Structure 1
Amino acid sequence: MCAERQEKRQEPLRNMSKALPRTRDALRASLGDEDLPAEIVERLAAQALPALLLTTAALGENRPLPGASRLGGTPDLPPGMGWPMRPPYPDAERRAAGHRKDARRLLEDSRKPRSWMTPEQGVMFSQERMAKADATERPFPLAFFGQFDLAALSAIEGFDPLLPNTGRLLVFYDFWEQPEDFTPEAAVGWRVIWDDSPRDLLTPAAVPMDLETISSDDWTTIFAPALISAVPVVTPIPMSERGWDAFDLKDEDLREVYGDWLSQFGTPDEDGGENHQLGGFPRPLQNGLQATSQLASHGIYCGNGDAWKTPEAQALLKEAGAWRLLLQVGVDLNAGMRGPGAYYVIIRNEDLAARRFERARVTYQCD
């Protein structure tokens, strides 16, 4: 788990990265400047995937049209659809016990000499952990990450043709709990919805009181509304992708050259970086995005190495390449998403084709 954001607010990272290639020719030319054989350059250029780079701007005083793409704010929902709630976690007993243990530790640490907390802060942080423990054991509203107008976005070059070209994609996530991607029970902690309701039926939903209660000026689960714009990009394949075949990854020299080239585009947790994507290849902060989702979605806890070695896991991992990026959301100061880390919404090809968005998974990663 990453640094505790409720206890120490993260400062935004500085953006030192270059822009992602806007065309396949630009990607090929950039790779051609590296010490890579021509056939490898061509393979990498061929494997790169088009995507939509999503950038944001502060909303200001005027509310956009119902269903318009944005991060944060409140969702536009059709009649009869309430704000998504998760049930109690199936492993709530374990989660609650961990939070209560942390609550006691924080209280004790705040009373030690030279503690980074004052005793008053220790009491506050301890109470927050106790409240989080209680929340895992009861139904609780999911935080709203954003909605994405597929009808409008589909008119832009780079839109994934496997996505619907009507309706909206809405993403909700248990931002308070940050459920682990390697735990099957975590799947109740997010909701990905494709809503194809007529736009004139949509109305803005009210923020649930439970989310209001746990939010403050220093930390929040209610993000500021930020309008989304999209431009085409071409995304290079990461070396962790299951379909990788451009060169033998045991070749350390080639790994270093390509890894250094990839690093110039930065990571999605940079302040001011190109952090959000619809489709394409992700820029993962950790390895195992596809493989972990494949095992956890089949009920296998894969938080330790032993789980990966079982015959069942080995058989399932053969199909891990069927998972693809649906959406990547990183740091965004316009929406108040300060990080650290980024969120990856991924889905199997067959589920995307069948419009089974409820089977998508949301993975949180950080360095």
Structure 2
Amino acid sequence: MSLQPLPPRPPPSQPLSLPASLAPHRAVLERSLVPCIYFDKVEGPQGPRGCRYGGLPFLPPGTPWPRSPEGPLHFLGQLDFAELAGCRGAMLPELPTEGLLAFFYDVENQPWGTEPPHRTFCKLIYVPPGAELVPLSPPEELMQAERPVLPIRQLHPTVGLSLPGWSDINAPVDPDFWSEEQGEDIIELRRQLMGTDTADRGADQLRGHPNWWQEDGRIDAQLASNGLDAYASESTPEAERLRPGAKGWNLLWQVGTDEAMGFVWGSYGTIYLLIRDEDLLARRFERAWLILQCS
């Protein structure tokens, strides 16, 4: 089945085209814009280079297949930072300019990331430039799964802009101050920036503002990564002490639902890989935290 092209996204250098209802708020909206990379999925072969979902991981010889306490994880995809560097120019300078990042996750159990033990159900492996790369075959245990190897989709990157949603801790204006018309126009503006033709959530994206289905998931990541159950402990004094640190987490990689690929997150939701800026700069990808949200 061929993939349908999406509407073109406005380039980052182009001023926002705002409807009349939002024109008085241009300054605050433009201050809230941050660059990101959007991915369009296209059919193509797997290989050691290039950004993609599915297929086999290409890793240094002898790399063990990542596991959780429940068994082997699925390989979801990889980022090729050299390819991304050629796309982004001077934008997003915090990203590596070389190397690969392989992403593994438990697609059977799909932990939400709201509890400390959920850390073990997601694994990121950063491969520095110059490493020898070979395809890593899934272990026999994983081959018994319904889909041991996920379908391949090449990820074509495009630099764009992102705007925070209502529940984001960086939202430019309290949503209670918007009229119904302004609220609808904001959703349409975010849809245009993401280049999606159906909804305002779930774009496949690198960096920028996440597109939350629920409340800002950075709070859950901050609590769970510090040893608290994000739901059971949300009103405790310890949670209140930790909560301000949520602003230190930012989006690394956002993966939307794609039923044809077997990417169905909860009830057609989205996966968010979050990372602290200092960990990204130090290439400590193992400290990233996964949050899953859906409607």
Same fold (TM over 0.5): yes
Aligned to 1:3: none
Q: Point out where structure 2 has 5 or more consecutive residues left out of the alignment.
A: none
> Secondary structure at 2:219's aligned position in 1?
helix
Aligned to 2:109: 177
Counterpart mapping for 1:309-320 below 5 A: 309-320=235-246
Matched, 1:209 2:140: yes
Contact 2:221 2:290 in 1 (8 A): no
Question: In structure 1, how many angstroms separate the alpha carbons of the residues matched to 2:228 and 2:77?
Answer: 29
More strand by share: 2
**Match for residue 288 of structure 1 among 190, 211, 216:** 216
Q: Please tell me whether Structure 1 or Structure 2 has the larger radius of gyration of its CA atoms.
A: 1
Deviation of 1:18 after TM superposition, in Å, equals: 5.8
Aligned to 2:14: 25
Aligned to 1:85: 67
Equivalent AA in structure 1 for residue 86 of structure 2: A
> Secondary structure at 1:316's aligned position in 2?
helix
Equivalent AA in structure 1 for residue 142 of structure 2: L
Contact 2:38 2:205 in 1 (8 A): yes
| Cα-to-partner distance string for 1:287-322 (whole Å, 9 max, x where unaligned) | 131111111110111224xx2222211121112111
Contact 1:51 1:235 in 2 (8 A): yes
Question: In structure 2, how many angstroms separate the alpha carbons of the residues matched to 1:221 and 1:249?
Answer: 43
**Match for residue 72 of structure 1 among 54, 61, 78:** 54
Counterpart mapping for 1:102-121 below 5 A: none
> Secondary structure at 2:176's aligned position in 1?
coil
Contact 1:241 1:321 in 2 (8 A): no
Question: In structure 1, how many angstroms separate the alpha carbons of the residues matched to 2:176 and 2:259?
Answer: 39
Contact 1:18 1:264 in 2 (8 A): no
The alignment's TM-score, normalised by the length of structure 1, stands at: 0.70
Counterpart mapping for 1:195-274 below 5 A: 195-198=127-130, 201-215=132-146, 220-244=147-171, 246-253=172-179, 256-257=183-184, 259-262=186-189, 264-265=191-192
Contact 1:269 1:342 in 2 (8 A): no
Deviation of 1:34 after TM superposition, in Å, equals: 4.2
CA shift in 2, pair 1:336/1:267, >3 Å: farther
**Match for residue 348 of structure 1 among 268, 271, 276:** 276
Aligned to 1:322: 248
Question: In structure 2, how many angstroms separate the alpha carbons of the residues matched to 1:258 and 1:358?
Answer: 39
Comparing 308-317 with 143-152, greater Cα deviation is found at: 308-317
**Match for residue 357 of structure 1 among 258, 269, 285:** 285
Q: Point out where structure 1 has 5 or more consecutive residues left out of the alignment.
A: 1-14, 89-135
Pairwise CA RMSD: 2.8
Question: In structure 1, how many angstroms separate the alpha carbons of the residues matched to 2:14 and 2:237?
Answer: 43
Contact 2:151 2:261 in 1 (8 A): yes
Matched, 1:44 2:29: yes
Equivalent AA in structure 1 for residue 120 of structure 2: V
Question: In structure 1, how many angstroms separate the alpha carbons of the residues matched to 2:183 and 2:135?
Answer: 49
Equivalent AA in structure 1 for residue 22 of structure 2: L
Equivalent AA in structure 2 for residue 51 of structure 1: C
Matched, 1:193 2:142: no
Contact 1:325 1:347 in 2 (8 A): yes
What number of residue pairs does the alignment pair up? 285
The alignment's TM-score, normalised by the length of structure 2, stands at: 0.86
Question: In structure 1, how many angstroms separate the alpha carbons of the residues matched to 2:21 and 2:168?
Answer: 22
Question: In structure 2, how many angstroms separate the alpha carbons of the residues matched to 1:212 and 1:267?
Answer: 36
| Cα-to-partner distance string for 1:181-203 (whole Å, 9 max, x where unaligned) | 2111111000112110425x100
Contact 1:181 1:293 in 2 (8 A): yes
Contact 2:168 2:212 in 1 (8 A): no
Equivalent AA in structure 2 for residue 234 of structure 1: L
Aligned to 1:56: 41
